[in-house]
Amino acid sequence: MGRTVSALKQAGATALELGFPFSDPIADGPILEAASGRALRHGTAWADLLVASRTASEILPTAVMTYANPVLRRGLESAMKELSTAGVSGLIVPDLSLEESLPWRGAARRSGVALVLLGAPGVSNDRIRRVARASRGFLYLVGRYGTTGASAAGTSVDLAPLVAAAHAASPDLPVLIGFGVRDRPSARRALRTGADGVVVGSALEQRIQRDPSPGSISRWLRAIVGARPDRLRNGQR
Amino acid sequence: MPRRYGPYGGSFVPETLVPALAELERTWRSARRDPAFRRELHRLSTTLGGRPTPLYFARNLTRRGRGAQIWLKREDLLHTGAHKFNNALGQGLLAVRMGKPRLIAETGAGQHGVATAMIGAALGLRTEVYMGSVDMERQKPNVDRMRLLGARVIPVTSGSRTLKDAINAALRDWIANVRTTHYLLGSAVGPYPFPAIVADFQSVIGREIRRQAVRSFGRLPDLVVACVGGGSNAIGTFRPLLSTPVELLGVEAGGRVGSHGAASLSYGRPGVLHGSFSYVLQDADGQVAETESVSAGLDYPGVGPEHAWLKDSGRARYVAVHDHDALRAFHWLAKDEGILPALEPAHAVFAAVGAARRRPKRDHVVVTLSGRGDKDLAVVLRESH
């Protein structure tokens, strides 16, 4: 775990999204769904998440991604405190809508965890502004209609207006695009919208399955990092 | 219409679905005030569906109970063989109103899938139904019926390969195709506004019970009984009676003796599954439990949020009935009344006979017989040997 995260850091990752498995991951495509299932069959528990978070967060700023129920089962306040104590900087909950997020935002603020909200194509500019103002750490912008994953399923859309609306509403909040970003061309496309970065998940999971060595992971990520905005646009943001 | 029932309900969904849920809510609100929509719903309910369904006095089953009179609300006589017709018709018409050319649905027992396939054919909408591969095997006749009605049945092989996983798959499809597709959710579960819409379209059951009870025995029943998986036939039965003194009893699937079966209200605790906050069978880390019931339609670890609130507030009571007792009730109804019920309402029949036994002969108990048993013959023959 530590070696993988270090390899990612050396190859240019600026932060880590660490997934805690859930039995019913409705926002995830086949790759992360299968990964979730494998982790649960191996008995992955909340305590393991805290251990992994401690290791990871010493190397890279770490945000935990999981669904609403494991956090609620723990209790909002205690879950946030435990994550914070384990060094976690952010929490991403793909089935937490703006409407349900109020008590979550309070608990996260009290523990010093950034609650990252998600934006998506198809929502109004007004809504993306409200989401951007409520989100902490960064805004996670879903890059297309569809679940996570590297497959061609799902349609891409023009995200530039949403990115601009989010930046206007919350100028200091970075906008990161995820879902369907898998390689250099897709990362470059995502960054052309004016976004500040990308999140890559399923493609990394696939890479780890094929060859989990730090060298392999590092080579894979370097190819994608070549698309970073500071290289593309001399760091405008 | 409330977003929440007490603390339960709400809308825990990926942001991609938010615009579609808002559109669905708007469309439904305008449709239920539109006389033309209501006329069309009524016309198809009666002439295509066969409403109203009768309220039948089960004389021999009453004799078996040796207590209160037992009456059956015959949703099993509805077109496609179950109460699922009511909701499939209503939401099908909403899909047309929204201009969405494609329907997707999940199904457990296959009754909701068949109802959706039927309404897709009748309204000219392309229809695809997700079904767990375990359920496809045990409810084979319904798989064939869906296909003959022109729907594509997509096997779901992840997780427990039952209803819960079929809903996951349908939600993922909806996330990807939300602009052209309506997700015709079949039970009173899921994010707002689904529980409210499904309860609205199913409430015709309880409204008819009210009317027919007064006509048949001069007053409201003392107790109504319905089975609860997600809880759509039960909420349809209960809702129009909430403001009356009628006692409400929901019956969950208790599975085999010694297991928690699929009884989320009896053995679960509050959590979020499929977009709403309600009782969920889950472990200490919030992972959703796998369920086991002889009836595919009740084999679900969650339950509609309104039932969670009816339980907590004490307005309704919920009990669990084991597989073998449901099978006994299946045979009682077959031999006493000449009716083959689906295994789902057989759970309710068992609880109703028990309740009738403890009540005086002047009392009236109404059981919603939510579906017919043709789909279950193979399971019943295997389990009853």
Active-site positions of B read 84, 106, 370
Chain A residue numbers touching B273 (CB-CB < 8 A): 24, 69
Chain B residue numbers touching A94 (CB-CB < 8 A): 14
Which pLDDT does position A228 carry in this prediction? Answer: 61
Say yes or no to pLDDT of B385 above 80: no
Of the partner residues A29, A40, A97, the one whose CB lies closest to the CB of residue B13: A97
Q: Which of A101-105, A147-151, B332-336 has the lowest mean pLDDT?
A: A147-151
- The answer to whether residues B228 and B261 touch, using CB atoms and an 8 Å cutoff, is no
**Using the beta-carbon criterion (under 8 Å), do B272 and A94 form an inter-chain contact?**
no
pLDDT band at B2 (very low <50, low <70, confident <90, very high): confident
**Using the beta-carbon criterion (under 8 Å), do B14 and A127 form an inter-chain contact?**
no
pLDDT band at B1 (very low <50, low <70, confident <90, very high): low
pLDDT band at A233 (very low <50, low <70, confident <90, very high): very low
Which pLDDT does position A226 carry in this prediction? Answer: 81
Say yes or no to pLDDT of B62 above 90: yes
Interface-testing mutation among A20, A22, A26, A40, with chain B (most B C-beta atoms within 10 A): A26
The whole-angstrom distance between residue B310's C-alpha and the CA centroid of its chain comes to 16
Distances (CA, A) of B171 to A29, B130, B306, B368: 11, 10, 21, 29
pLDDT single digits (tens) B37-57? 999 999 999 999 999 999 999
Find the catalytic residue in A28, A33, A82, A205.
Answer: A28
Q: In chain A, pLDDT over 90 holds for what percent of residues?
A: 86
The Cα of A43 is separated from the nearest Cα of chain B by a number of Å equal to 11
A99 counts as catalytic? no
* CA gap B277, B291 in Å, rounded: 19
Of the partner residues B19, B164, B275, the one whose CB lies closest to the CB of residue A123: B19
Pick from A171, A180, A89, A166: which is nearest to A127 by CA?
A166
A17 counts as catalytic? yes
Closest-CA residue of chain B to A143: B16
Say yes or no to pLDDT of B352 above 80: yes
pTM for the whole structure? 0.95
Chain B residue numbers touching A71 (CB-CB < 8 A): 286
pLDDT band at A235 (very low <50, low <70, confident <90, very high): very low
**Using the beta-carbon criterion (under 8 Å), do A154 and B176 form an inter-chain contact?**
yes
pLDDT single digits (tens) A38-51? 999 999 999 999 99
pLDDT single digits (tens) A71-96? 999 999 999 999 999 999 999 999 99
The Cα of B226 is separated from the nearest Cα of chain A by a number of Å equal to 28
- The answer to whether residues A11 and A217 touch, using CB atoms and an 8 Å cutoff, is yes
Phi-psi region of A104 (alpha: psi -120 to 50; beta: other; left: phi over 0): alpha
pLDDT single digits (tens) B93-121? 999 999 999 999 999 989 999 999 999 99
Say yes or no to pLDDT of A237 above 60: no
Q: In chain B, pLDDT over 90 holds for what percent of residues?
A: 96
* CA gap B318, B248 in Å, rounded: 8
Q: Is A68 on the interface with B (CB under 8 A)?
A: yes
Q: What is the dihedral of CA A151, A157, A158, A161, to 10 degrees?
A: -120
- Mean of the per-residue pLDDT values for chain A? 92
Closest-CA residue of chain B to A48: B285
The Cα of A104 is separated from the nearest Cα of chain B by a number of Å equal to 12
Of the partner residues B16, B272, B284, the one whose CB lies closest to the CB of residue A68: B272
What is the per-residue DSSP string for B169-233?
HHHHHHHHHTTTEEE---SS-SSTTHHHHHHHHHTHHHHHHHHHHHHHHSS--SEEEEE-SS-HH
Which pLDDT does position A230 carry in this prediction? Answer: 55
Q: What is the dihedral of CA A34, A35, A41, A47, to 10 degrees?
A: -150
The Cα of A11 is separated from the nearest Cα of chain B by a number of Å equal to 31
> Does the predicted interface ipTM exceed a cut of 0.90?
yes
Does the CA dihedral A90-A18-A141-A61 come out positive or negative?
positive
Distances (CA, A) of B306 to A68, A76, B238: 20, 23, 10
**Using the beta-carbon criterion (under 8 Å), do A23 and B159 form an inter-chain contact?**
yes
